[in-house]
A and B are shown apart, each in its own frame.
Chain A
Amino acid sequence: MSEDKVYIRLKKKITAKQNQYITLKDIAFITGNIEYLDELGAVPIYQITEADKNISVIDGFQLLEVMVQAYPLLSIELLGTNQVIVEIPKQAKKVSVPIIFLIWLLMCVGSAMAIMNFHYDVSMQEVQQGIYYLLTGERVNKPLWLQIPYSIGLGLGMILFFNHLFKKRFNEEPSPLEIEVFNYQQDLDQYVIQHENALNKHDDS
């Protein structure tokens, strides 16, 4: 007779309600050669309290402690990540339109000022006057034939870099910005796993 064995693959991140009792099937995918998998999935692992505030981490080891107590004869194998991040959203936060508009204005005015300062910093006016002279043989104060396409190209270049043409895309690959946002989120998760983990707090003493 083969031994009773379950495989548990922890989820990376879950969202839970305030004061929810988190069960095994909330935080993991389970499979195994036993008949009572459903019962196993209902095993309570962790009670969310006020002290958790809006984020908590359940370590795979904590889970094993509970499981070993409940089913001493069961052999458990943990797969995948070792921690689950539990997010407890306060209420669905609604971002107000005025704030978005304000940020929008800030970014818009800010980048307009930044580009003007950049142009002065690199003496672009003089360089463009020089180039205009080289290309046409005429000396003008405002080489607008050069400068207006330049200004439009400025926006095009940024869109090209971020791979966004309003809703349309040039191809399926993620834009550098999306990768950047993803990396940042991953760094945050990594930090939370380290600092919100109850096990790590005990070790340090």
Chain B
Amino acid sequence: MMTAEAITVFLQVFIGLGSGLVVGSGFVAFLTVLGIIPRLIQLSKSYRSLPSYQFSVIAGALLGTYFTFTDVTIQLPLILVSFWGLLHGVFIGMLAAALTEVLNVFPILLKRLGIDKELLWLLMAIVIGKIVGSLFQWLIFVEII
């Protein structure tokens, strides 16, 4: 009986560790391919802080994992909750921008249509579209569906 239990426990630990390993490395690889961290370093000229940024990503992933499985709650003021939401948005925005760039959408569009100077306006179209779409969804659309 004891050995059977020990084996299932060992299996669970093994499977958990294995899946965590794969998901974790995949997550980091995804972030690396999109080049968000290099972009932020370039903007802030903080090349030396790269190790701390790496640590921050790992700590964040672990924190998220903890949040996923815990039931503990804390009482944060709404302003801090909003700040949390803002950070979330900036991150997803950078993710979306990086994805668009990887797909090479803009250069092709601009070349095909011969519009070089209107680049900024096209960018703004996407930015505004994202904000409006997101607000519409949270304020109205979630009620309808």
Listed in ascending order, the chain A residues whose CB lies under 8 Å from chain B are: 93, 95, 99-100, 103-105, 107-116, 118-119, 125, 128, 130-137, 141-164, 166-167, 170-171, 173, 176-177, 180-181, 183-185, 188
**Contact present for B125 and A136 (CB under 8 Å):** no
Q: Please give the number of chain B residues whose Cβ is less than 8 angstroms from any Cβ of chain A in the complex.
A: 67
Q: Given the interface contacts A103-B122, A134-B72, does A153 sit within 8 Å of B81 by beta carbon?
A: no
Listed in ascending order, the chain B residues whose CB lies under 8 Å from chain A are: 35-36, 39, 42-43, 67, 70, 72-76, 78, 80-98, 101, 104, 106-111, 113-115, 118-139, 141-142
- 18 contacts across the A-B interface (CB closer than 8 A): A99-B113, A100-B115, A103-B122, A110-B129, A113-B133, A116-B133, A144-B139, A145-B85, A146-B85, A153-B87, A155-B89, A156-B86, A157-B89, A157-B93, A159-B93, A161-B39, A180-B106, A184-B104
> B95 — which chain A residues lie within 8 A by C-beta?
157
- Is chain B's binding surface mostly helix, strand, loop or mixed? helix
Q: How far is the CA of A121 from the CA of B21 in the complex (A)?
A: 24
**CB < 8 Å neighbour of A162 from B72, B123, B128:** B123
A-B contact count (CB 8 A): 220
- Cβ of B102 to closest chain A Cβ, rounded Å: 9
Residue among A133, A155, A160 having the largest count of chain B Cβ atoms under 10 Å: A155
